[in-house]
Amino acid sequence: MAALALLLGVLLQLSPAVPAGRGQQPWLVERPQPRRLSKVDGFSWKNCDNGTDPVEVQSLSLAPDPICIPGDLKVNLAVSSKVDLTSPLKVVLTVEKKIADMWIKIPCLDQIGSCTYEDLCNILDNAIPPGTPCPEPLLSYGLPCHCPFKQGSYSLPSSEFYLPVIELPSWLTNGDYRIEGVMSNGAQQLSCVKMALSLHSD
């Protein structure tokens, strides 16, 4: 399920979904003259490892398209892992924005952008204290939310999340973005996923 956390983490950098009916979580830091995110569209994804990584996304779908904010988001995801996933799970995100005919790398500011997260396991432990139940919908489907993650296949059937009103930092504006997420443990690359999307803000 680390691949699930990686994928949702990429998306939630821009739009922090919470399970439907839950309260907001202030994941984004306020900036001067923030912009209100209203829509995400053109979402696409692919594995970028040529079939060599032990962790791969089998399927991923988001609905509706475009994603309206605020509003409900349905996520359907299946991943497989040929190895046990243990700490430290390093995640490197590269975020680029299209400007004219060029793709410009967005720097890491306040943990948003092209950031490196040294251990996903620690991040999960801080977000969900060990010993507490996993949040919905993981709990209902018996999916783990802490390391280690055993090898095998995991699937999240169509599950609904609520996207609250989101204020983006002023430097993150309308446009086309592409995101690459690479997960590794030591020298071993475990997973590579690329995503593309367009942001629309007011």
CATH code of 2-16+35-201, in short, is: 2.70.220.10
Please work out, in degrees rounded to the nearest 5, the angle formed at the alpha carbon of residue 194 by the alpha carbons of 102 and 12: 100
The model's pTM: 0.81
Could you give the CA distance from residue 94 to residue 176 in angstroms, rounded to a whole number? Answer: 14
* Ranges 14-18, 80-84, 118-122: which has the least confidence: 14-18
74 three-state secondary structure: strand
Give residue 79's pLDDT band: very low, low, confident or very high (50, 70, 90): very high
pLDDT at 50 over 60: yes
Could you give the CA distance from residue 55 to residue 17 in angstroms, rounded to a whole number? Answer: 24
Q: pLDDT tens digits, residue range 96-129?
A: 999 989 999 999 987 888 999 999 999 889 988 9
E strand or H helix that includes residue 79: strand 71-81
Tell me the H-state helices in the chain.
2-14, 120-127
Tell me the H-state helices in 85-170.
120-127
Structure confidence at residue 13 (pLDDT):
46
Give residue 51's pLDDT band: very low, low, confident or very high (50, 70, 90): confident
Which carries the bigger pLDDT value, residue 184 or residue 110?
Answer: 184
Sequence ranges of the domains in the chain: 2-16+35-201
Q: Label residue 26 left, alpha or beta by phi (over 0 means left) and psi (-120 to 50 means alpha).
A: beta
Structure confidence at residue 33 (pLDDT):
60
Average pLDDT over residues 66-88: 90
Structure confidence at residue 70 (pLDDT):
86
Distances (CA, A) of 117 to 12, 79, 97, 176, 185: 14, 21, 21, 24, 12
pLDDT at 164 over 90: no
